[in-house]
Each structure stands twice: as C-alpha cells, then as structure tokens.
C-alpha cells in the first residue's frame, strides 16, 4: 500500500450548522426560526428533542475553536443563524447577533483556521414563514437583504461564503415529504420553494459580491447517487427520474442548463405543476446560473431504485450492504462517480466537498475514549475515493467532515452522532473520538498513510 498524498494546500475542514450546535435560542435578541417552532411541535422530532441547548456552542465557542486548533483544521464551515441577525427576517438588524459571529471569526483567524460561512442552513425566521416562506418569491429577496447585511459586517474577515445549504432538503424534504420544518406535504409548494431557494442563491451571490468584493461564493448542493435495482428499462427509468429529482434539478439550473426538460415533463404528467413553472420569471435562470467561485456539495450515500407505476412513483430498495447508524448505505463509489461527473459533464472548475460523514453511536468508554472504528473506516473509504478522483483530474480542493461535534440531528434529535468529538449532553463535556486523532494525523501528513 502506498501513501495517498493530497495536493499541497488541500483544504482540510469540518462543518457544523447554527441550529444544530448553538443553543442559546433566546439570547441577545435572537428571533425564532421555523426549527424552533417545528421542534417544539409534538411528534415532529424524536422524543421531542429541540435545539434549545444543543451543544451550547454559543457560550462554548472558544473551547470548540481550541479543539479545532488541536485537530489542525485548515478551515471550518459554520452557519449564521438568520434570526440572530434579522429577528423578524427583514428590517431591523440585531447587532449582538452579528457580534457573536465576529467573535467566532476572530477566534478562528487567531488560530489560522479559514472561516467558511454558510448563510442559510434551514433556520428561516418565523416572520418570513408566516408571510408564506420559501414557496413565496419574496423570501428570496429577504435572503439577499440578509446576505448583504452579514457580508457587510463580516466580509473583511470572511472570504468564503456558501449561500444556501441543500436546496433539495429546503424544498422537497420540508415542503413535500414534511419531515423537516415547516413540515408541509404539498408538491406545487415544494417545487416553487425549490426555485426560490435557487433564486435566493443567485440574488444572495450578488449581494455578497457587492458588500465584500473579491470574496468567494458558492452554493452547497446535496447529491444522492441513484442506482437502478436491475437493468430493466423500467428500473432504469426510475433511476433516471430519481437522479433528476434529487440531483439534476438543482445542478443543471446552477450549471446554466436550466431545469431538466425530462423532469419538468415528469412533474407535469404527475400533476405537480398546475401553473406550469410560472414561478420562473424572466432573468431568474441567468441569476441562478451566474458562475460560482467554487462548487460545493454534500455526499453521504446512494439509493437503489426500482420501478413504480410511473417513474415518479419509484420505490427505494434497501440492499443489505453495510450501513451507518442513519441506515444510510456506505457507498464511496458514488462519491467518486459524482466527482467525475461534475468534472466531465458539468466542467466545474473548482470543487469542494462541504459535507461527508457518518453517524455511529459508539459509547464513551471507561478510559474517556470513543473507539469509533466504523467512522474511521467510512472516512478512509471516502477519502480514497476523493484521491482517486483527483488522480483522474478532478479539481477537488477541499473536504469538510460532517460534523465537528455530535449535535442536534434534525428530526432524529440527539439520537444520531456524526461528530469527531463526542458530546455528553448532560454535562456538555467534549471528548475527542478516535476519529479525531485519526483525522488529526491525516491533516498533519496531508493524506493517508498506507492508503
Ligand atoms: C445534511 C445536513 C446536515 C446534517 C447531515 C447529516 O443533509 O446538511 O445538517 O444533518 O445531513
């Protein structure tokens, strides 16, 4: 086995998001978000867990940054909570909210950790939800206003921005499947939301570039590899639709190809587009397709899909291959293939993986360690896939592990643990896991020993 060295300057990072770690939901003038409301609605999260306290990071950020420094991180991806900055979604700016992120960024820079700030990781202010939320076009304009405020305040120190995290989750998971806030089950609303989330990205990019000239901006899309259950035309049709629904819908629009015609046709045939894409207004697609400075994406798993009565009624078939605690199949080949596709089909000039990681529930052992061999194996396999892609010419320049620390995993509450750092929620004690030590070695050596 040879060593797998990464290119010089490769960005080794870790990621989190505001609602999943900060807690302090009433502190310093923060407004409420749709996740406060959703998590406090009975039955929406496992055991009624909420992000009220989470990892208490709002008060412990210095300790957390010190752990990042210990890990040797080159970059840290966090998200800014919109309701801390604009408690009512638009209008009055809450200075103490901005000050928190200023302090966080100062602490990162003091340790030579490059901040990557995500502006929207799902915590829409409730005032905007009450005005219609993402199915309303105005929400995109509100996002641009908010993006400009944050970029103005932090843009001299934060030079890397991600506008929107995972528009598929914002639209379909939240407005059609109803598993995330605001918990709607409405296809036309979800499709309008998908367009407005992308529009928010386009408008937000303009606002950031105006407020922070020279800053680098991108969007973070999520990808799920789609594999047909068999080679029959019907299963391949189902996989085509699945890939279009999850991946191409967003990717094609961002890459300047517009919404994929086959998926528009599928949605129309299914009756999901009663207004025939009327939400797309002149100029929108050009805004959405404005070049990103880097292209970011999140990857966890694949789905194996089989035919339903129509392509959009596909069924997900669960193979018996190894899975993480989330029930997600471990499929590093999908990461490799997506990287190649982004390069060869979409010609993305610079790519970063903004999330990749695994949930395992290894307990804290008596010696104060967490022996999370499953996570290390998952990371190793996915980094080997990254290295293969780089060797094949893919311009992959960074990797952010999800997540720095165990945190509030949305509808799963605290029952899933993705962290490199174990959090004891009763005491808020942090314990670096074995994967933390492994990743630290890897970062220090800029690659994998014994590949
Ligand atoms: C992604 C989210 C992130 C986390 C991981 C497990 O979809 O962006 O917040 O929940 O999944």
The DSSP annotation for 156-201 comes to TT--EEEEEE-HHIIIIIHHTS--STT----HHHHHHHHHHHHHHH
For residue 1, is pLDDT > 60? no
- Say what the pLDDT of residue 252 is: 98
How many Å lie between the centroid of ligand 1 and the Cα of residue 269?
31
Average of per-residue pLDDT across 293-304: 98
- Say what the pLDDT of residue 321 is: 87
**pLDDT, tens digit, 9 for 90 and up, residues 93-113:** 999 999 999 999 999 999 999
How many Å lie between the centroid of ligand 1 and the Cα of residue 298?
8
- Please state, in angstroms and as integers, the Cα–Cα distance from residue 42 to each residue in 48, 133, 282, following that order: 6, 21, 42
Work out the pLDDT band at 164, boundaries 50, 70, 90.
Answer: very high
Ligand 1 pocket test, candidate residues 298, 406, 418, most atoms within 8 A of CB: 298
Nearest residue (CA) to ligand 1, atom 5 = 402
For residue 179, is pLDDT > 90? yes
Nearest residue (CA) to ligand 1, atom 4 = 409
Work out the pLDDT band at 274, boundaries 50, 70, 90.
Answer: very high
Query: What are the backbone dihedrals phi and psi of residue 406, each rounded to the nearest 5 degrees, phi first?
Result: -50, 145
- Say what the pLDDT of residue 441 is: 97
**pLDDT, tens digit, 9 for 90 and up, residues 191-246:** 999 999 999 999 999 999 999 999 999 999 999 999 999 999 999 999 999 999 99
Q: Report whether 399 contacts 13 (CB < 8 A).
A: yes
For residue 450, is pLDDT > 90? no
- Say what the pLDDT of residue 451 is: 54
**pLDDT, tens digit, 9 for 90 and up, residues 21-74:** 999 999 999 999 999 999 999 999 999 999 999 999 999 999 999 999 999 999
- Say what the pLDDT of residue 320 is: 84
Give the chain's mean pLDDT.
97
Active-site position among 166, 237, 325, 329: 166
Average of per-residue pLDDT across 266-277: 97
**Within 6 Å (CB) of ligand 1, which residues are found?**
17, 20, 165-166, 169, 222, 298, 355, 402, 409-410, 418
**pLDDT, tens digit, 9 for 90 and up, residues 111-147:** 999 999 999 999 999 999 999 999 999 999 999 999 9
Q: Which two tokens stand for residue 190?
A: 């979800």
Nearest residue (CA) to ligand 1, atom 9 = 17
For residue 157, is pLDDT > 90? yes
Q: Which residues fall within 8 angstroms of residue 313, CB to CB, at 6 or more apart?
A: none
**pLDDT, tens digit, 9 for 90 and up, residues 394-426:** 999 999 999 999 999 999 999 999 999 999 999
- Distance separating alpha carbons of residues 145 and 118, to the nearest angstrom: 15
Percentage of the chain beyond pLDDT 70 is: 99
333 is an active site residue? no
Instruction: Just give the CATH number of 4-448.
Output: 3.20.20.80
Percentage of the chain beyond pLDDT 90 is: 98
Atom of ligand 1 nearest to the CA of 166: 8
How many Å lie between the centroid of ligand 1 and the Cα of residue 18?
12
Residues making up the annotated binding site for substrate are 20, 121, 165, 300, 402, 409-410
Active-site position among 237, 303, 325, 355: 355
325 is an active site residue? no
For residue 2, is pLDDT > 80? no
- Say what the pLDDT of residue 237 is: 97
Name beta bridge partners: 4: 448
- Say what the pLDDT of residue 3 is: 76
Name beta bridge partners: 220: 165, 296
312, 292, 125: which is closest to 134 by C-alpha? 125
Greatest Cα-to-Cα distance within the chain, rounded to the nearest angstrom: 62
- Say what the pLDDT of residue 432 is: 98
């Amino acid at each position: 086995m040879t060593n797998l060295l990464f290119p010089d300057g490769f960005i080794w990072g870790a990621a989190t998001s505001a609602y999943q770690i900060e807690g302090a939901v009433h502190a310093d003038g923060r407004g409420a978000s749709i996740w406060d409301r959703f998590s406090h609605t009975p039955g929406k999260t496992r055991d009624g867990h909420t992000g009220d306290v989470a990892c208490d990071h709002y008060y412990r950020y210095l300790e957390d940054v010190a752990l990042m420094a210990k890990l040797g991180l080159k970059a840290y991806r966090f998200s800014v909570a919109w309701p801390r900055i604009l408690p009512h979604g638009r209008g009055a700016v809450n200075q103490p909210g901005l000050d928190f992120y200023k302090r966080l960024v100062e602490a990162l820079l003091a340790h030579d950790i490059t901040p990557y700030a995500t502006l929207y990781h799902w915590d829409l202010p409730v005032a905007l939800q009450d005005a219609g939320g993402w199915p309303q076009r105005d929400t995109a304009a509100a996002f641009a206003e908010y993006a400009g405020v944050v970029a103005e305040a932090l843009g001299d120190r934060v030079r890397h921005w991600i506008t929107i995290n995972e528009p598929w989750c914002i639209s379909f998971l939240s407005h059609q499947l109803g598993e995330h806030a605001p918990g709607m089950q409405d296809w036309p609303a979800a499709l309008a939301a998908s367009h407005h989330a992308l529009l928010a990205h386009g408008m937000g990019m303009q606002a950031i570039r105006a407020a922070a000239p020279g800053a680098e901006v991108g969007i973070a899309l999520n990808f799920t590899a789609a594999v047909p259950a068999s080679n029959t035309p019907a299963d391949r049709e189902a996989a085509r639709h699945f890939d279009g629904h999850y991946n191409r819908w967003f990717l094609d629009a961002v890459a300047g190809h517009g919404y994929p015609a086959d998926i528009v046709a599928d949605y129309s045939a299914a009756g999901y587009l009663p207004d025939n894409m009327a939400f797309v207004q002149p100029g929108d697609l050009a805004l959405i397709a404005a070049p990103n400075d880097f292209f970011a994406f999140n990857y966890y798993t694949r789905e194996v899909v089989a035919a339903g009565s129509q392509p959009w009624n596909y069924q997900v078939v669960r193979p018996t291959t190894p899975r993480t605690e989330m029930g997600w199949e471990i499929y590093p080949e999908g990461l490799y293939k997506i990287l190649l596709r982004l390069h060869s089909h979409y010609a993305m000039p610079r790519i970063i993986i903004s999330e990749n990681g695994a949930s395992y529930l290894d307990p804290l052992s008596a010696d104060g360690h967490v022996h999370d061999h499953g996570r290390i194996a998952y990371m190793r396999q996915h980094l080997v896939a990254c290295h293969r892609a780089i060797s094949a010419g893919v311009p992959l320049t960074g990797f952010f592990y999800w997540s720095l620390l165990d945190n509030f995993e949305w509808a799963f509450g605290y029952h899933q643990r993705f962290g490199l750092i174990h959090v004891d929620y009763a005491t808020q004690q942090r314990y670096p896991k074995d994967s933390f030590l492994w990743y630290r070695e890897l970062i220090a050596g800029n690659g994998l020993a014994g590949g």
